[in-house]
Chains A and B, each alone.
Chain A
Amino acid sequence: MKASLKRFKASYFFYSFKRDKVAMVSFIILVIFLLLSLGAPLISPYNPYDSASIDIMNSEIPPAWYEEGSSQFLLGTDNMGRDLLSTMFYGLRISVMIGLGAVFLQAFIGISVGLTAGYMGGKVDAVLMRMADIQFSFPYLMVAIFISAVFQILFGIGSYEQLAVPLLVVIIGLSEWPVYARTIRASVMGEKNKEYVEAARVIGLSRPVIMVRHVLPNTLTSVMVISTIQVANAVMSEAALSFLGLGMPVTMPSLGSLIKSGFEYIFSGIWWITIFPGVFLILFVLVINLLGDWMRDVLNPKLYKG
């Protein structure tokens, strides 16, 4: 453990991280976001899911620095009388949960498909990649919207809302796996003719063992790079679906559904229900994207930005 920590400290990865201010600031903000989402029940002043503590008389109170604001609610309250800051922390928690879950699912499907297609080649490759290509030619958001629409009709709105978290993970996972499949396949194609694979084959290891234990670890760099960007994408997709009313219900809002519920009030000048969660979401996605960009540059020195 100590040795690997020392090795990490001496690595080029850590060295360039220390020298890049943007990456460091983004990383710190990201860690704060993750802590907030993990510790939401401990940090937030109120529990937005506890209907007993919510008073509808408190609804639509502006942020504390306004005259009508109340020092009880720092960022004001939403249309149901929930403390906006607490609801945002819980919303972030849901967004992060769905984002990570969806990326795990995408990665699982994509890596299995890409690894099999790339290593097996031939007909298996042609069939699998044709499938990925067909789905890839449609924008993933469109696919996600369509799958969720079908699910919503299939389950009925009531039970869809109860199952919303696992369903959204499945929807976003299913709509974006081709990205992984293509990337993994490309790196497997580059790896599979190298000597170490040849050596593994000569000593008589079985195909699945070579694929998983030998080829896969050498493609993980590209997995890491796309995973960061994909988390950002998944969080954005979740927000978009929730905004369209195809995602999280208002009783258990993610950032997207919070923005949606605030949008109905924006014409009467109640801006905080929309803008605060919005800024929160943008900042979260922005730091992930910045980190992803930086990581791509460091891990892939051939691809220097112009």
Chain B
Amino acid sequence: MFAFIVRRITQAIFVMLIISMVGFAIKNKIGDPVRDLVGERVTPEERAQIRDRLGLNDPFAAQYIRFLKNVTKGDLGQSFFYKKPALDVIVGKAPATLELVFGAALIIILISMPLGIYTALKPQSTLSRFIMGFSTLGVSMPVFLTAIMLIYIFGVNLHWLPSYGRGDTVDLFGNGWWQTGFLTLDGLEHLILPCVSLASIMLPLFIRLIRSEMMEVLETEYIKYAWAKGLSPMRIWLVHAFKNTLLPVVTVFGVQIGIMFAFTILTETVFQWQGMGYMFLEAVERSDISLLIAYLIVVGSVFVMVNTLVDILYGFINPTVRIAGRK
């Protein structure tokens, strides 16, 4: 087990090095740190001086190592637009995105479990067919279209729910960092549509996954034995069968949460949600390269960490993975 953990962590560090190298190469190629510092109105001679003083004429490798050193200290460069360290900007925007992902995850769990179990138990019923058909349709629906249609129906036509922004928020820690929308009615109303649209991408996948795992378990010998013992159907379905479908579902869930971060870029654009994804697109429009690279590195490390953690946890639960190695 120890060797397995060490191997996974070495791999993770290796991947992070590659990401940082890609990020640095982009920054080096198209970024202009002198502009980030002093703006446009400086003579070329002064620029050259600043370039020299900042060490921008050093060889690539030397600059890369300096960049890595700064990264380990938490310095990801200066955002051109915000005139603040890029990491601070990202950390300031993170709570909004995290709340969105959390809300969506909650919806996925609450809806996919009952629907998945139901469609597995009654595969032939009309409702099951309807659910499965709907989930095929859901796979083919781009998330921004779901979002736009929700806005059009519930926001523009029915006026039930607000269609953009975060609404009233409450300061969670008293230092202005984490503004939560979960504690006010208005904030919760603003959360509903974005969370539902973000959840809609993963929902079909999880209903199908839970359904197929559950159907497989229901065929096994120990379930037949449980029936023979005369246990109540609810106990067999929920305690004996469903518990054993959870392992693969939880693993997939861990990885998919990471993927949801990618889709927050789309959801946040539609709902003008002031999170990391919205910030990313603004940074593209403003050519704020330091901020883009910082985003790449932050999101990259979140991904690598989640993947590694899921793998290690899986190694604890399922020993065969440790021996075979991951391929």
Residues of A within 8 A of B (CB): 129, 134, 137-139, 141-142, 145-146, 149-150, 152-154, 232, 236, 239-240, 243-246, 259, 263, 266-267, 269, 271, 274-275, 278, 281-282, 285-286, 289-290, 293, 305-306
Contact = CB atoms under 8 A, between A and B. Distances in A.
B156 A289 contact: no
A232 B140 contact: yes
Main DSSP-derived SS at the B contact region: helix
A18 to B, nearest CB: 22
A266 B156 CA distance: 8
Contacts of A266: 148, 151-152, 156
B141 A282 contact: yes
28 contacts: A137-B303, A141-B263, A142-B261, A145-B265, A149-B284, A149-B292, A150-B30, A153-B30, A154-B30, A239-B142, A240-B143, A240-B144, A244-B266, A244-B269, A244-B281, A266-B151, A266-B156, A269-B156, A271-B152, A275-B149, A278-B148, A281-B142, A282-B145, A285-B140, A286-B137, A289-B140, A293-B136, A306-B216
Contact of B136 (A267, A271, A286): A286
B270 A137 contact: no
Contacts of B198: none
A149 B18 CA distance: 19
B57 interface: no
Contact of A274 (B148, B163, B258): B148
B307 interface: yes
A289 B136 contact: yes
Contact of B145 (A145, A246, A278, A290): A278
Interface residues of B, number: 48
Given A149-B292, A236-B142, A274-B148, A134 B18 contact: yes
A106 B104 CA distance: 31
A224 B140 CA distance: 19
Given A137-B304, A139-B258, A142-B299, A259 B144 contact: yes
Nearest to B256: A139
B76 to A, nearest CB: 16
A259 B140 contact: no
Given A137-B15, A246-B284, A281 B303 contact: no
A62 B13 CA distance: 56
Given A150-B30, A244-B269, A266-B152, A281 B307 contact: no
Contacts of B10: none
A146 B303 CA distance: 15
Contacts of A137: 15, 303-304, 307
Nearest to A229: B139
Contact of A139 (B140, B163, B259, B327): B259
Contact of B149 (A138, A267, A278): A278
A128 to B, nearest CB: 13
A9 to B, nearest CB: 29
A269 B269 CA distance: 20
Contacts of B244: none
A154 B300 CA distance: 22
A168 to B, nearest CB: 15
Given A232-B140, A289-B140, A281 B265 contact: no
Contacts of B280: 145, 149
A71 B201 CA distance: 38
A244 B268 CA distance: 11
Given A150-B26, A245-B281, A306-B215, A290 B262 contact: no
A138 B148 CA distance: 26
Interface in B116-147: 123, 136-137, 139-145
Contact of B266 (A129, A232, A240, A293): A240
B188 interface: no
Contact of B140 (A154, A243, A271, A286): A286
